[in-house]
Amino acid sequence: MTIRRVLIFAPILLIMVLLQSYFWVPTYEQQTRGNPARLTEYIAGSIGDASLLNPILTADSASSNIQDLVFEGLIDRDEQLRFRGRLAKSWEVFEEAFFYVNPSASIPGLGKADPQTIASFVRDEQKKNHATDPELKDSLKRITEISVLPPKTFSVTRPFKDPNTDTKKTIEIRVAAPARIKLLLNSVDQDLFQNLSHLLGKDYFESFHNKDYLSSPSQHGKENFAAYAEELLPATEHNPILLFHLRPGVKFHDGHMVEADDVKFTYEAIMNPKNLSPRISDYEPVKTVQVVDPLTVKIVYKRLYSPAIGTWGMGILPEHLLNSKALEKEALRLGKDPKTFSMRQSTFNRRPIGCGPFKFREWKSDQYITLDRFDDYWKGPPNYQRYVFRIIPDLFLNFKAFPAPLSAIHISVTT
Considering the domain architecture, whether residues 207 and 304 belong to the same structural domain is answered as: no
CATH number at residue 402: 3.40.190.10
Q: Which residues contact 218 (CB under 8 A, 6 or more apart)?
A: 171, 172
Q: Which residues contact 212 (CB under 8 A, 6 or more apart)?
A: none
Span 56-92, pLDDT tens digits: 999 899 999 999 999 999 999 999 999 999 999 999 9
Query: Cα–chain-centroid distance for residue 5?
Result: 66
Domain membership of residue 54 as a residue range: 26-72+342-414
Residue 98 lies in a domain: yes
Cα separation, 413 vs 415, whole angstroms: 7
Residue 353 lies in a domain: yes
3-state secondary structure of 3: helix
**Domain end: 195, 211, 238, which one?**
238
Residue 1 lies in a domain: no
Residue 335 lies in a domain: no
Cα separation, 43 vs 326, whole angstroms: 34
Q: Which amino acid is at 90?
A: S
Considering the domain architecture, whether residues 231 and 128 belong to the same structural domain is answered as: yes
Considering the domain architecture, whether residues 140 and 207 belong to the same structural domain is answered as: yes
**Between residues 408 and 201, which one has the greater pLDDT?**
201
Q: In 10 A of CB 177, how many CB atoms?
A: 17
Burial of 355 (C-beta count, 10 Å sphere; 0-12/13-18/19+): buried
**Domain end: 294, 322, 350, which one?**
322
Pick from 155, 151, 152: nearest CA to 174? 155
% of the chain beyond a pLDDT of 70: 89
Q: Which residues contact 334 (CB under 8 A, 6 or more apart)?
A: 341, 347
pTM (predicted TM-score): 0.82
Residue 290 lies in a domain: yes
Q: In 10 A of CB 135, how many CB atoms?
A: 14
Considering the domain architecture, whether residues 150 and 231 belong to the same structural domain is answered as: yes
Considering the domain architecture, whether residues 143 and 199 belong to the same structural domain is answered as: yes
Span 152-185, pLDDT tens digits: 999 998 887 777 777 788 888 899 999 999 999 9
Cα separation, 152 vs 60, whole angstroms: 48
Query: Cα–chain-centroid distance for residue 371?
Result: 25
DSSP H helical segments within 39-191, as ranges?
61-70, 115-126, 134-142
**Domain end: 272, 292, 322, which one?**
322
Residue 333 lies in a domain: no
Residue 346 lies in a domain: yes
Cα separation, 321 vs 72, whole angstroms: 16
Considering the domain architecture, whether residues 117 and 158 belong to the same structural domain is answered as: yes
Cα separation, 159 vs 190, whole angstroms: 32
Query: Based on the structure, what is the number of domains in the chain?
Result: 3
Q: What pLDDT, on the 0 to 100 scale, is given for residue 406?
A: 42
Considering the domain architecture, whether residues 64 and 140 belong to the same structural domain is answered as: no
Residue 297 lies in a domain: yes
**Between residues 37 and 399, which one has the greater pLDDT?**
37
CATH number at residue 247: 3.90.76.10
Q: What share of the chain is helix, strand, coil (3-state, %, to 5)?
A: 35, 25, 40
